[in-house]
């Protein structure tokens, strides 16, 4: 449990560090007096520096196997990235393994389609990512987790500073665990099976 608490502390500190850097104001580009105006304009195709709800989001995500916090930042063009930390308890719920896990994931999303209305903006997106963590896989012992993520999500960004998200994030990864004083390397099955469980988020936009 000391390892688990230490991992959670380090990963939370990493998220706060990244969020602090991203929140710092950007220096305006010299020689281009219209740059500030251009950054705030949104075209019909959604290729803008920020979406209508704002360039950053932070909030909580929930699913049957994982609960976490997530920070997102919109980039120029039709893309944004998310970084999140979560506690994974899928093995506890489905396999009665009492050892929870912790994971950190980073996903780079491309906006596929967006729709605007008087209530806000709906956004369909997908993208690749990376996942690292420590936890159990089914009935196996706890171990290190490393994998690739495929993300597919849908956000509704209200005119109010609130974003509701639904996403699935299956991951193809490896699980390194200790067995009888030896190490065993296998496929991280929870990432493929439980990763198809929809993850719902509620986030503050700013």
Q: Burial, 76: exposed, middle or buried (Cβ in 10 Å; 0-12, 13-18, 19+)?
A: exposed
Other residues' Cβ atoms within 10 Å of the Cβ of residue 140: 20
Q: Is residue 58 part of a domain?
A: yes
Q: What is the pLDDT of residue 203?
A: 96
Q: Is the pTM of this model over 0.85?
A: no
Evaluate whether residue 43 is within a structural domain. Answer: no
Residue 101 resides in a domain: yes
Structural domain boundaries, residue 135: 2-24+48-205
Stretch 182-205: mean pLDDT:
90
pLDDT tens sequence across 151-181: 999 999 999 999 999 999 999 999 998 777 7
Within a domain: 36: no
Residue 30 domain-assigned (yes or no): no
> Cα(94)–Cα(140) distance, rounded to whole angstroms?
13
d(CA 85, CA 127): 18
CB 59 within 8 A of CB 67: no
**CATH (domain of 177):** 2.40.160.20
> Is position 32 within any domain?
no
Predicted confidence at residue 21, as pLDDT, reads 46
As a whole number, mean pLDDT of residues 64-81 equals 92
In a domain, 73, yes or no: yes
In the chain, how many domains are there? 1
Confirm if 67 and 44 have CB atoms less than 8 A apart. no
114, two tokens? 């967006």
Q: Calculate ∠ Cα 189-64-167, nearest 5°.
A: 80
Give domain status of residue 161, yes or no. yes
């Amino acid at each position: 449990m000391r390892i688990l608490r230490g991992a959670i502390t380090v990963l939370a500190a990493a998220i706060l560090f990244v969020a602090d850097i991203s929140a710092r104001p950007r220096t305006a580009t010299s020689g281009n007096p219209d740059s500030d105006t251009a950054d705030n304009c949104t075209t019909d195709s959604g290729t803008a520096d920020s979406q209508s709800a704002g360039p950053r989001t932070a909030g909580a995500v929930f699913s049957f196997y994982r609960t976490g916090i997530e920070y997102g930042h919109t980039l120029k063009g039709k893309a944004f990235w998310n970084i999140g930390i979560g506690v994974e308890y899928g093995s506890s719920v489905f396999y009665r393994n009492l050892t929870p896990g912790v994971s950190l994931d980073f996903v780079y999303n491309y906006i596929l389609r967006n729709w605007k209305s008087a209530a806000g903006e709906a956004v369909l997106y997908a993208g690749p990512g990376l996942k690292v963590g420590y936890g159990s896989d089914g009935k196996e012992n706890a171990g290190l987790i490393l994998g690739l993520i495929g993300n597919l999500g849908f956000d509704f960004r209200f005119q109010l500073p609130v974003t509701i998200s639904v996403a699935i994030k299956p991951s193809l990864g490896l699980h390194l665990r200790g067995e009888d004083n030896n190490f065993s390397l296998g496929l991280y099955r929870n990432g493929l099976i439980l990763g198809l469980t929809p993850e719902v988020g509620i986030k503050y936009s700013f």
